[in-house]
């Protein structure tokens, strides 16, 4: 069954632009060869990591959205796991529902804050 997936992966910060392009193209081509469709790639650029990974303080972030089955996801994740240029990756299966707007998050956050301000009842 075809599902929508979102994959974020982080490349080593010391890669040149050519190497980053080669890496992005490699994973895009791997998905295409295995039957994934509707591939969208966004290069977020170099950003500071929340915590050091393999002694790296920064990494180059890439976001990929595509339609595939679980088989294509497994192939790409295996290639990333074996690659020395990828320091982290995460794949998420997306729901078919549209993403919530910012206004809907406000309603979820306010009750949580209100609950924290109330004293606990014993």
Q: What secondary structure, in 3-state letters, does the chain show? A: CCEEEEEEEEECCCCCHHHHHHHHHHHHHHHHHCCCEEEEEEEEEEEEEEEEECCEEEEEEEEEEEEECHHHHHHHHHHHHHCCCEEEEEEEEECCCCCCCHHHHHHHHHHHHHHHHCCCCC
Q: Which residue has the higher pLDDT, 11 or 108?
A: 11
Convert the pLDDT of each residue in 34-72 to its tens digit. 888 888 999 998 999 999 988 999 999 999 999 998 888
Domain count, the chain: 1
The residue-averaged pLDDT of 91-108 equals 56
Which CATH number characterizes residue 7's domain?
Answer: 3.30.70.60
For residue 105, is pLDDT > 80? no
On whether residue 104 sits in a domain, the answer given is no
On whether residue 8 sits in a domain, the answer given is yes
pTM of the model: 0.73
Six-digit token pair at 49?
Answer: 């990591």
Convert the pLDDT of each residue in 6-21 to its tens digit. 999 999 999 999 999 9
């Amino acid at each position: 069954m075809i599902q929508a997936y979102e994959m974020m992966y982080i490349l080593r910060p010391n890669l040149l632009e050519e190497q980053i392009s080669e890496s992005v193209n490699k994973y895009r081509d791997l998905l295409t060869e295995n039957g994934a469709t509707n591939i969208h790639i966004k290069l977020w650029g170099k950003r500071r990591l929340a915590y050091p990974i393999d002694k790296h303080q920064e990494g180059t972030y890439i976001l990929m959205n595509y339609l595939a089955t679980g088989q294509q996801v497994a192939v790409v994740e295996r290639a990333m796991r074996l690659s020395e240029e990828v320091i982290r990756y995460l794949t998420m299966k997306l729901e078919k529902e549209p993403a919530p707007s910012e206004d809907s998050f406000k309603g979820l956050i306010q009750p949580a804050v209100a609950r924290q301000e109330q004293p606990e009842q014993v």
